Amino acid sequence: MKQIQCSFDLKIIFLYLVVTLFSCQQNNAQNSVASSDFVASDFALAKDQYQLLLGSRDFPRTLDTAGRVVGTDEWDWTGGFFPGALWYIYEYTKDPEVKANATIWTEKLEKAKDLTQHHDIGFVMYCAYGNALRLETNPDKIKQYQQILVHSAQSALKRFDPKVGLIKSWNEKASWDGKTVWKYPVIIDNMMNLELLFFASELTGDPKYKHAAISHADHTLKNHFRSDYSTYHVVDYDPNTGAVAHQQTNQGYADNSTWSRGQGWAIYGYTLLYRETREDKYLEAAKKAADFYMNHPNLPKDRVPYWDFNAGQQGYWPDVDYSNRKLKVIPRDASAAALVSSALLELSTYTSGADAKRYFDFAEGTLKTLSSSEYLAKRGTNGGFILKHSVGSMPHQSEVDVPLIYADYYFLEALLRYRNLAKAL
């Protein structure tokens, strides 16, 4: 009897394992379908929404209080995001009409290859022309776009002073404290402009662009991060000695707080630095900045952060008077969530095991939140933009709880990265 019972038990166990394996495979297949469904649905919406924005005369940026589209010229830092988003929509849909519009809006930016008034030529030119180069097949256009981007990189270097070792973000500017004037301000956002410089060195073989980018990244790594890997928004340098003069904020709540989108720029920026150099110090910075963001006790459960992690908290002392703002809630920033989800998906590919899984899972959860009705616009609404509830700058009372073009851009980029990674799982 013992032998018969043992044989019977083994058969039961075997059948259980087979059924469990089949069930897991079905669940994985269902999850894969569900994932592709929300990505497909989001891109279908994006294509329809951007048909509305194509009617704009200028580069769409946001909505005003009356719900009208606010546009900019090519000299604004956000100009490249609309054509860049069109390229992402084309990459997913393969619709030739979308490509034609992406080309038109990209080429409208050409004059900005001479942009030297501020540091954001990387945002403006590489988000548009960089994506165009990935997807364009016409050899004449490819050559033209390459030349434009190299010209843009040369313009970017005009704001790099070897004595300081960084690209100057803005011209002389007063801080919120009413007494400090920044002489050589560098903001954490500037990390995002370095990709253009790496591209230029790779294309031309001239290392001067890459060397400037690495110098900038190294100084930022040293001076923008606190011991817990939260970030200052602005670090001001002495233009004569290169010494740090001030560590403050321009768009965050307080000098000692952590502006959510700024933390996102840091995560994304050091992830791309690791991609371009394979230096472990940059990967470590990206991971620690990401861990600060992901594990912060003030991050809401849906993973869409408040505009600043420390807004309204004791121990943080803003120079801006917020007492008359009369806000019922602390605004969220979907642009920070979209940006971080894109960065984490790339970061997951440079890590392994539990780290890779938690970065991927966090990004996936964020994208699903952003794809919900709370943040995703309904067709024909939101002025044609895709995401709702972003914040441009609370201290300036500018673009609060509105759609922002760069939120859409990084959301679409993240969706593409997610789709490509999910396919490989």
Q: Per residue of the chain (425 residues), what is the pLDDT tens digit?
A: 333 334 434 444 344 433 344 344 444 433 443 556 999 999 999 999 999 999 999 999 999 999 999 999 999 999 999 999 999 999 999 999 999 999 999 999 999 999 999 999 999 999 999 999 999 999 999 999 999 999 999 999 999 999 999 999 999 999 999 999 999 999 999 999 999 999 999 999 999 999 999 999 999 999 999 999 999 999 999 999 999 999 999 999 999 999 999 999 999 999 999 999 999 999 999 999 999 999 999 999 999 999 999 999 999 999 999 988 878 899 999 999 999 999 999 999 999 999 999 999 999 999 999 999 999 999 999 999 999 999 999 999 999 999 999 999 999 999 999 999 998 87
List, for residues 116-175, the tens digit of each pLDDT value: 999 999 999 999 999 999 999 999 999 999 999 999 999 999 999 999 999 999 999 999
In the beta sheet, which residues pair with residue 234? 187, 248
Give the residue among 185, 204, 199 at the shortest CA–CA distance from 244. Answer: 185
Catalytic residues, by residue number, are 120, 189
> SS3 sequence, the chain?
CHHHHHHHHHHHHHHHHHHHHHHHHHHHHHHHHHHHHHHHHHHHHHHHHHHHHCCCCCEEEEECCCCCEEEECCCCCCCCHHHHHHHHHHHHHCCHHHHHHHHHHHHCCHHHHHCCCCCCHHHHHHHHHHHHHHHCCCHHHHHHHHHHHHHHHHHHHCCEECCCCEECCCCCEECCCCCCEECCEEEHHHHHHHHHHHHHHHHHCCCHHHHHHHHHHHHHHHHCECCCCCECCEEEECCCCCCEEEEECCCCCCCCCCEHHHHHHHHHHHHHHHHHHCCHHHHHHHHHHHHHHHCCCCCCCCCCCECECCCCCCCCCCCCCCCCCCCCCCCECHHHHHHHHHHHHHHHHCCCHHHHHHHHHHHHHHHHHHCCCCCECCCCCHHHCCECCEEEECCCCEEEEECEHHHHHHHHHHHHHHHHHHHHC
Angstrom distance (rounded) from CA 405 to CA 61:
5
List, for residues 374-407, the tens digit of each pLDDT value: 999 999 999 999 999 999 999 999 999 999 999 9
Say if residues 245 and 271 touch (Cβ distance below 8 Å): no
Cα 371 versus chain centre, distance: 17
Q: What is the CA radius of gyration of the chain?
A: 23
**Model's pTM, two decimal places?**
0.92
Buried b (16+ CB within 10 A) or exposed e, 336-345: bbbbbbbbbb
